[in-house]
Chain A
Amino acid sequence: MRYTAKKIGTLVLTMVLVSLFVFLAFSLLSGDAATRMLGTEATPERLEALRAELGLDKPMGVRYVKWLGALLRGDMGTSYQYRLPVAQLIGERLRPTLTLTLMAFALIVVVSIPLGVVTAKYAGGFLDRTSTVLGQFLMSVPPFFTGILFTYIFGLVLHTFVPGAFPQWEDGAGRYFGYLFFPALSIALPRIAMTVRMLHGCILDEAQKDYVRTSMSRGRSRGNILYVHVLKNTLVPLVTFLAMTMAELVAGSVIIEQVFSVPGVGRLLISGIANRDAPVVQAVVTLVSFWVVVCNLAGDLIGRRIDPRLRTGEGGRS
């Protein structure tokens, strides 16, 4: 119980710090938000009026608390550039981003777990060495470059999809997922390489332990030990790693959405930053930090469910 409380405390701190950081950063700029909206030729009176309307005339602390309070009630403010509620702007763009992230995550899990296990089982063999070299290479390719390559090969040469023409959900699930497959694969590839390497290392470390030798001496087969004991013990670090991956995929999505013209939250964030649209950026970044926190917490709780040993720490109670 105490552990969970402490964990949640750290996570709440993450969200508060991130939101405070973004808020402070944008408060330093937003003085001229009114100027930007009205143009430099606006009269001082009109500027003052708009600042008052946006709440920019109040001290920063007051604004932060007010903003936080509104956010907790679900009110994210109004975008400077679109003049629309931020909640609505985000809501309209959430589906492609979530789909993209989840598809990438599914690809990572489906490809890297079997590959990690197989390369560890035949460590030092041809497959292992090939995957090490290939992995090192894949980790060096920026996802947005992979995205450009895919656009060229599958979009312009093979015509598998039409670059830039993002199909709506209503156009049919096949086309929707078909389009999002390429950006998802682009951000998944380097992560697959990382996950394989991580799992591979974990399994080999675990295989060095005494209980593996004991089991061997009792005549159990290598495969049996690997699948029954070793894998079970690598599950917890794997889950933690995957949770972190899930959290970081959002950052990858921000970039790849730009490459494939996916109308998602990432593009909203970029246009918000480019136009210094403080309410949009604050809301999106805070939302991302919430996502990060939830992923980490979920990874942690699942890990503790899998491995009872983690639950007995901290004074033996939980």
Chain B
Amino acid sequence: MKKHSHFLIAGLVLSALVFAFIILGWFWTPFDPMKMNGAVRESAPSLEHLMGTDKFGRDILSRVMKGSGFTLFVALGTVLIGTVAGTVIGALTGYFGGWLDEALMRIGDALSAFPSFLMALVLVSVFGAGRNHLLLALGIVFIPSYARIVRTEFARARNQNYVKSAKLMGASTARILFIHILPNIWPVLLSAITIGFNNAVLAEAAMSYLGIGVSPDEASLGYMLSDSQSYLAVTPWYALGSGLVIILLILGVGLIGEGLKRRDL
């Protein structure tokens, strides 16, 4: 257990830093992210502007802080929808089994073969632009993967002695499902959440990079990357700054996931 805990520690430290950076951006940024300043257009990273400025003289660090807030918001919302809905569906189908379980899992199997990213693209185009729609679309698309993991665990727990004895003692089904079994599958769920979170960040970034599901005033990191590409020759630091935050965010949570997995072995 001790051998690999440095993955977990590195992940926790990195994630804490990145989350602090992003959450700070919700309340405070060094400059107004929308304010154009003609005096400092296209300036390279300096002490005053740590990530430089863009074509309009806007401070990139401030924009990245603001933008990553949108990305984080969507990713957390997606994980919340996916986990809650997936856990409820997985718990019920796994514990009770039966034809509904069979049918849902068949459908889940069939759909899971298809790249979820493309599914989300189609859903977003139906829901329309805006980050709440994006959040909803990604959340729905990720439900089956959580449901599958949770279902397997509940189906296994159903026949274990602690569940049987809880039943004999007269515990209600809801109590057995969520007070007795759920805490036991927590480690599995947690590692699914870290993977799901990273997939959500990637999907959100990719989606807003493609310009689908975003409005320009909600400039998330992906949107900024796509914007930065037009000015790549002039202000390469714009792309670098936006990309760096995505990478660090995913790397941190990925390390936590890897650390958890190795600890469980």
Interface residues of A (CB under 8 A from B): 10-11, 13-14, 17-18, 21-22, 25-26, 28-29, 136-137, 139-142, 144-145, 148-149, 151-152, 156, 163, 247-248, 250-251, 254-255, 258-259, 269-270, 273-274, 276, 281, 285, 288-289, 292-293, 296
A148 touches B225 (CB 8 A): yes
A86 to B158, CA, bound (A): 51
Among A29, A145, A149, A251, contact of B117 (Cβ-Cβ < 8 Å):
A251
Q: B211: CB under 8 A from chain A?
A: yes
A137-B225 contact in complex given A25-B122, A251-B118, C-beta closer than 8 Å? no
Known: A29-B125, A136-B251, A140-B250. 4 other contacts (CB 8 A): A145-B247, A149-B243, A152-B232, A274-B212
A145 to B242, CA, bound (A): 9
Contacts of B222 in A (CB 8 A): 144
- 10 A-B pairs with CB atoms under 8 Å apart are A10-B109, A139-B250, A140-B248, A141-B247, A148-B225, A156-B232, A254-B117, A269-B118, A273-B212, A288-B115
B110 touches A136 (CB 8 A): no
A250 touches B247 (CB 8 A): no
Among B106, B209, B233, B250, contact of A10 (Cβ-Cβ < 8 Å):
B106
The minimal Cβ–Cβ distance linking A236 to chain B, given in whole angstroms, is 18
A140 touches B125 (CB 8 A): no
Give B55-91 interface residues, CB cut-off 8 Å to A.
none
B212 touches A142 (CB 8 A): no
Q: B150: CB under 8 A from chain A?
A: no
A273 touches B109 (CB 8 A): no
A144-B206 contact in complex given A151-B229, A273-B122, A292-B113, C-beta closer than 8 Å? yes
Contacts of B109 in A (CB 8 A): 10
A289 touches B125 (CB 8 A): no
A293 touches B113 (CB 8 A): yes
B126 touches A28 (CB 8 A): yes
The minimal Cβ–Cβ distance linking A136 to chain B, given in whole angstroms, is 6
A260 to B107, CA, bound (A): 35
Q: Mark B113-141, 1 if CB is under 8 A from A, else 0.
A: 11101110111011000000000000000
The minimal Cβ–Cβ distance linking A317 to chain B, given in whole angstroms, is 23
A156 to B228, CA, bound (A): 14
B115 touches A251 (CB 8 A): yes
Q: B33: CB under 8 A from chain A?
A: no
A276 touches B236 (CB 8 A): no
Q: B189: CB under 8 A from chain A?
A: no
Q: Which A residue's beta carbon lies closest to that of B7? A: A136
A148 to B240, CA, bound (A): 9
B228 touches A148 (CB 8 A): yes
A227 to B223, CA, bound (A): 48
B122 touches A14 (CB 8 A): no
Contacts of A148 in B (CB 8 A): 225, 228-229, 232, 239, 243
A292 to B239, CA, bound (A): 33
Contacts of B210 in A (CB 8 A): 255, 258, 270
